[in-house]
Amino acid sequence: MNTTVVGAYPKISDEHQELRRALHKADRGELDDASLAVAFDEATEWAIGELADVGIDVINDGQIRWDDLLAPFAKAWRNCERGPLERFYDNNTYFRQPIIKGPIETDGQTLVRDFTFADGKLRGRAHLKAAVCGPLTFATLTAEDDHYKDLEARTLAIADALAKELAGLGAAGAKIVDVEEPALAAHPELIDLERAALARLAKGGVTVALYPYFFPIDKIIEKLDVPPVGILGVDVRSRETSPKAIERLGAWKGTVSLGVIDARNTRIETPRETGELVDAALKQLRDERRLILSTTTGLEYLPHDVARKKLNALVDAARAAKGVPA
């Protein structure tokens, strides 16, 4: 049973604060862009090294350059800007709301350099996947839109831009691209719009792993069977009602990435706890090849030392599921 992570990894630890210091220096005008880029690369190499060394099978690049889930795109896309700060769902973490001034345009290369860099540094120690924000998440968290007439038009335009990003990442070697879509879990009533947006992502030509996290998704699982979604991330820990989703997994035909490790609380899961969730999921899926174990969301919501323990708990959960002693 494979393991994977979702979202951002901590950018610093108690021992590794080089990136934090570099950003402070850059903010004061004491560090140029090239030197800051080196600091980002070094932090990325550190993060992917930790993810791979602990034994995670499919990793991302830790999203070290991402200020927030929307930032890489709001920065890179033409006619987009980053606007006022806002709280990111139910987290004490903040993001800058996008502002759309005109038609969104992209060359599809926004993340290609970072993916290629991480892949080169990984040297086969783990599989590397890419990630983008979800179209509905970007669209619903936009603060101002001077161009698109409504949420539907904005969401679909963002999906078209993301399809170009997926195509660019696919050409760079990405086989799987996570689409992080908390807005879908927060707004299940927008499922039809999400389906239309996901269908447009098919133009990207890669397998999409859809991660609607933070909120329960039991009511919409059966409606997510839309190409190119091959993997569905199911957060079963964020809320007391989140595990209900497991009972509905029979309606899903693809692979499930089961979020058994809570990336937003410090208590470390035991193999027994994760094992119960795995058993319940397998009763629905009936094929362990269709099950991946993962964190619920990005481990950056935790201090680095706890994030490391969570990675170990994830690896232990997979070993226990395979009957391998910890």
Shortest Å, Cβ 87 to another protein: 5
Shortest Å, Cβ 243 to another protein: 15
Q: Which residue has the tokens 């140029």?
A: 32
Nearer to another protein, 42 or 67 (CB): 67
At 69, list the tokens: 């889930």
Nearer to another protein, 132 or 302 (CB): 302
At 231, list the tokens: 């993997």
Nearer to another protein, 91 or 116 (CB): 91
Chain centroid to Cα 178, Å, comes to: 6
Nearer to another protein, 105 or 266 (CB): 266
Chain positions contacting another protein, by CB under 8 A: 10-14, 20, 23-24, 27, 67-68, 84-87, 89-96, 240, 265-267, 300-306
Shortest Å, Cβ 250 to another protein: 27
Angle at CA of residue 106, ends 102 and 110, nearest 5°? 130
Provide the terminal-to-terminal Cα distance of the chain, rounded to the nearest Å: 14
Shortest Å, Cβ 98 to another protein: 15
Nearer to another protein, 22 or 318 (CB): 22
Q: Which residue has the tokens 């170990």?
A: 312
> What is the side-by-side strand order in the sheet with 291-295?
127-128, 58-59, 3-4, 291-295, 255-261, 229-235, 207-211, 176-180, 130-133
Q: 112-122 and 151-171 are packed helices; what angle lies between their axes, rounded to 10 degrees?
A: 40
Side-chain-side CA neighbours of 73 within 13 Å: the count stands at: 30
Shortest Å, Cβ 202 to another protein: 32
Residue 59 CA to residue 272 CA, distance in Å, equals 24
Residue 300 CA to residue 237 CA, distance in Å, equals 16
Shortest Å, Cβ 26 to another protein: 9
Nearer to another protein, 83 or 230 (CB): 83
| Whole-Å CA distances, 158 to 125, 254, 257 | 33, 25, 25
At 115, list the tokens: 């993916």
Nearer to another protein, 219 or 322 (CB): 219
Residue 309 CA to residue 97 CA, distance in Å, equals 32
Nearer to another protein, 150 or 287 (CB): 150
Shortest Å, Cβ 90 to another protein: 4
**What value does the CA radius of gyration of the chain take, rounded to a whole number of Å?**
19
Shortest Å, Cβ 325 to another protein: 27
